[in-house]
Structure 1
Amino acid sequence: MQEGLIVKALSGFYYVRPEDGGDVVACRARGLFKKRGESPLVGDRVRFEAKDDGSGEGTVVELLPRTTELVRPPIANVDTALIVFAVARPDINRQLLDKFLALSELAGLRCVLCFTKADLLKGPDGAPNALAAEIDALRAVYERIGYPVYVTSAKSDADVGGLLREMDGRISVVAGQSGVGKSSLLNRLAPGLTLETNEISEKLGRGKHTTRHVELFRIGERGWLADTPGFSSLEFPEMEAEDLTEAFPEFAELSNGCKFRGCLHLTEPGCRVTQAVAEGEADPARYENYAAFAVEIRDRKRRY
């Protein structure tokens, strides 16, 4: 019996890369997984048996313990989330960006932020334009919180080396707003890949979904990166609104100074978080998104 990593799941087959670096084996899962209510995921480390008939097929026999598990996208053992948004075309949706970051924090993932299409930050004369100043300010907001931030372009290798170092020895998932160039970025991170890409729909102002399944690709010598279908909305898991603070690192630190334990940082007196926002210590847009998420979680819990 061998051990390996599931790098793709498609049409009932689990494609396993053997630990010794041999050829990928197309495996079916044993029926006992279904009886247990279990399902192998891309990113799972497994034990499998390969057929000796030269077919390149086999059977997944055992799932090894997982460190993390995501539902959307369905993937296991990820430790880093590469959150990708374009500087423009489509415009940055701050609420969606903060929701991706919050959900990644709640899942226990380390977050790296990447802004693509850096070529749009220069005017016809090659000088930085007004958008460049906006992105610099936005980058400063997230770097101050502690997130590594990179700005890339499909037309150059700027910051690609830094991203590769961030993902060295890790299983990373790439996610973000549709049409931001995730597949183009993957093609640059892993030369030789030819993932399908599509231009932004001028009529709709958003990208077409070009990725139909989750798949891991080798990045450098020791890293794996998952390309995933593009998303336009995400929902928080069942949770208490009070726990949302942990998804916003800067507010989690400030909350120690709140007057009341379990403060939601909405209308409570003596709230250190709202004080910090009012005094310019914390980003007001981040707080507005936090407050919207807290109300969303609280109201959903009341309905159900």
Structure 2
Amino acid sequence: MPEGKIIKALSGFYYVLDESEKSGKVIQCRARGIFRKNKVTPLVGDYVVYQADNDKEGYLLEVKERTNELVRPPISNVDQAVLVFSATEPAFSPSLLDRFLVLVEANDIKPIICITKIDLLKTDNERETIQAFAEDYRQIGYDVHLTSTIERDGLEKLKPHFHQKITVFAGQSGVGKSSLLNAISPDLALKTNDISSHLGRGKHTTRHVELIHTAEGLIADTPGFSSLEFTGIEAEDLGLYFLEIRERSADCKFRGCLHVKEPACAVKDAVENKQIREYRYQHYLEFLTEIKERKPRY
């Protein structure tokens, strides 16, 4: 049976990019009733087995095992997320960036940090501040790109990341995610304007999720994460999603150390010795409190 990848889901139809040949053929499929019976909903990004009645129509027979799955946006097998934050207008927010990083890390998705609008930085002090943040995150182990869609700075270095990957874009509102996509691939103008108009009306979901060929990869046509709550993340796991905390927690005296008041805590020692940035640790404590105080769901 032929296999492929769902690149769009709309009105009960699943559009499957055939991967058994190099033709790039897309088959419009419906899901068999067995999916409803087994409570499986096919998602954009799924690798599937299908049966084609002809060159254009067919049925989904099987959804292959997923590497990950997002609820909002509904998409699976995401390789990476480009987290788009502006250097200014709106001001760069390391707290919000850390929130996104935790959510991405918790879903086993590689984050790439993209700081836009660097052309709008007016003073040496502003530029030095953004460069310092960028260097902090690079030292932790993240890819960080400083870009300008006006002056086209940094775009060529960002492009190779998309090669043969499924990528979602997420980040601050008003940072110019659509402008960034347009600058990377000008032929996407209609798609990104569509995203922009949805965001402009204050909505956080598009009518459907679609994977679009861009820079030799697939980019999800969606505004990204619409929920920034730490649902499903437990207090004892939060440190796993701060890479520098995860690295040092093995040296804590007590197993299960939450790095708050415990004695002989390697993480707190690293903060005191400036091996972990104070602001990152403070964000960890804020998120930990939020997780501990959330209301249980029944």
Does residue 1:163 correspond to 2:158, yes or no? yes
Alignment of 1:282-297 (within 5 A): 282-297=276-291
Contact 1:258–1:271, Cα closer than 8 Å, also in 2? yes
Distance verdict in 2 for CA 1:284–1:233, change over 3 Å: farther
Contact 2:73–2:225, Cα closer than 8 Å, also in 1? no
Instruction: State the SS of the aligned residue for 1:111.
Output: strand
Q: Whole-Å Cα distance in 2 between the matches of residues 250 and 158 of structure 1?
A: 29
Normalised TM-score (structure 2): 0.88
Counterpart pick for 1:224 among 218, 227, 239: 218
Counterpart pick for 1:138 among 130, 133, 140: 133
* Displacement after TM superposition at 1:31 (Å): 1.6
Alignment of 1:217-296 (within 5 A): 217-221=212-216, 223-231=217-225, 233-296=227-290
Q: Whole-Å Cα distance in 1 between the matches of residues 33 and 236 of structure 2?
A: 41
Counterpart pick for 2:37 among 35, 53, 59: 35
Stretches (4+) displaced over 6 A: 301-304
Q: What are the Cα deviations for residues 263-298 of structure 1, in whole angstroms up to 9, with x where unaligned?
A: 101121221212222232211111111111112222
Contact 1:82–1:113, Cα closer than 8 Å, also in 2? yes
* Displacement after TM superposition at 1:130 (Å): 3.1
Contact 2:168–2:224, Cα closer than 8 Å, also in 1? no
In structure 2, the residue matched to 1:71 is: 71
Alignment of 1:64-143 (within 5 A): 64-121=64-121, 123=122, 129-143=124-138
Instruction: State the SS of the aligned residue for 2:150.
Output: coil
* Displacement after TM superposition at 1:190 (Å): 2.6
* Displacement after TM superposition at 1:43 (Å): 0.6
* Displacement after TM superposition at 1:172 (Å): 1.8
Instruction: State the SS of the aligned residue for 2:187.
Output: coil
Contact 1:85–1:176, Cα closer than 8 Å, also in 2? yes
* Displacement after TM superposition at 1:192 (Å): 1.0
Q: What are the Cα deviations for residues 55-80 of structure 1, in whole angstroms up to 9, with x where unaligned?
A: x3332222122222222222111121
Letter in 1 for 2:113: L
In structure 1, the residue matched to 2:3 is: 3
Letter in 2 for 1:33: F
Q: Identity over aligned residues, as a percent?
A: 48
- Aligned length in residues: 291
Letter in 1 for 2:36: K
Does residue 1:44 correspond to 2:38, yes or no? no
In structure 2, the residue matched to 1:182 is: 177
* Displacement after TM superposition at 1:231 (Å): 4.8
Q: Whole-Å Cα distance in 2 between the matches of residues 33 and 92 of structure 1?
A: 44
Contact 2:73–2:224, Cα closer than 8 Å, also in 1? no
Distance verdict in 2 for CA 1:268–1:11, change over 3 Å: same
Contact 1:178–1:209, Cα closer than 8 Å, also in 2? no
Q: Whole-Å Cα distance in 2 between the matches of residues 283 and 273 of structure 1?
A: 11
Q: What are the Cα deviations for residues 152-210 of structure 1, in whole angstroms up to 9, with x where unaligned?
A: 122133222222222222222211122222222222223311121649x9xxxx98558
Contact 1:42–1:214, Cα closer than 8 Å, also in 2? yes
In structure 2, the residue matched to 1:215 is: 210
User: Is there any run of 5+ residues in structure 2 with no aligned partner, and where?
Assistant: none
* Displacement after TM superposition at 1:108 (Å): 1.5
Q: What are the Cα deviations for residues 97-119 of structure 1, in whole angstroms up to 9, with x where unaligned?
A: 11111111121122211011222
Q: Whole-Å Cα distance in 2 between the matches of residues 290 and 51 of structure 1?
A: 53
In structure 2, the residue matched to 1:147 is: 142
Letter in 1 for 2:133: L
